[in-house]
Structure 1
């Protein structure tokens, strides 16, 4: 399989679906901000009705694996996912 690049907006969408399912709300009700810090790496803040949920890199990968399985029909456990901070594209994911 060649490398697939998932753009920042699609990562945000994956997190919205992931958090929405965990909290029994529609993905449209979830607001997500992706972040990168040199010390802690990748993370995200998801807000639902004023309540903030913090996601770690592991949570972001889990959300992407869920999306890969459901929407791309690929085996999520057979794919390698790498989050990348790109100067032009923001936070993207490379899937192999």
Structure 2
């Protein structure tokens, strides 16, 4: 899970506000976005599981539900990490191209 320290470091690297209020807002926005993405991934994975297991006749065992939820959570968190990492990679690449130290 992305924490406030990670967000603060990303903001600092990108020249974005690093005050507590800005970090709290970004953190809550990130948590909300992760929750939304988990729901989307879980729905997709659930539908996929049901399509692959018609013999279940719409009944999904609890252990399958747990596994699908975990997969959805991992995917959502990876997406959010990428949301922070992609701009940092781009910034670093631009600095290197300009002959500056990327870090």
Q: Same fold (TM over 0.5)?
A: no
TM-score under structure 1 normalisation?
A: 0.27
Query: Which structure features the higher share of strand residues?
Result: 1
Which has the larger share of helix? 2
Q: Please say which structure displays the higher CA radius of gyration.
A: 2
